[in-house]
Amino acid sequence: MPTYQVFEPDDGTRTQANAERVVFLREKFSIWAFIFTPFWLLRHRLWLGFVAWLVAFMAITLIGVALGFGPYAGMAASIFPSLFFGLEAVSMRGRKLLRSGYRDAGVVIAEDLETAERRFFDTWKLAPVKSDHPYAPGAAPTAYPDTKLAAAEQQVIGMFPTPGQR
């Protein structure tokens, strides 16, 4: 079943305008990034990836020619950088979104994009915005409400008894 990575704007509000900006990326091999690698990289504004592809393409072609394989063998070997970008296309777009003001909102497993959007937005409306602290200051429940009383009665600190007692 297809898996979608979900990215939402990281401005801290969940409004209708931000709902329109939520991005779903399906985890799969990108045939377009494989076949049209330089154009795909430029379309998605992945400049560093484009430079890396160009350097790898030129290096493989030049090394193939220098070793005497001819220009066609070098060009055939240059298919490997395109294969890499086809495999890593979704990850590269996800990292680009994280750098450009989005945050990872989770993963949705659904049969198609429409179902993924429906599942995500059903919980998105109800879920509070994540912050560094899951509770408001002073509202966090205590983990062990009777810690002082329990320690005084049992003379135990954690799992170890106090020295001299058995």
Identify the pLDDT of residue 67: 86
Does the pTM surpass 0.75? The reply is no
For 165, phi then psi, to 5°, come to -115, 150
- β-sheet bridge partners, residue 107: 5
Q: 3: helix, coil or strand? A: strand
Domain range list for the chain: 3-130
| Interval 122-164: pLDDT, tens | 887 644 555 555 545 455 455 444 445 444 555 556 666 666 6
158: left (phi over 0), alpha (psi -120 to 50) or beta: left
Contact 94/7 with Cβ under 8 angstroms?
yes
For 33, phi then psi, to 5°, come to -70, -25
| Interval 65-123: pLDDT, tens | 888 887 677 778 878 899 999 999 999 999 999 999 999 988 999 999 999 999 998 88
Q: Which helix (H) or strand (E) holds 9?
A: strand 3-9
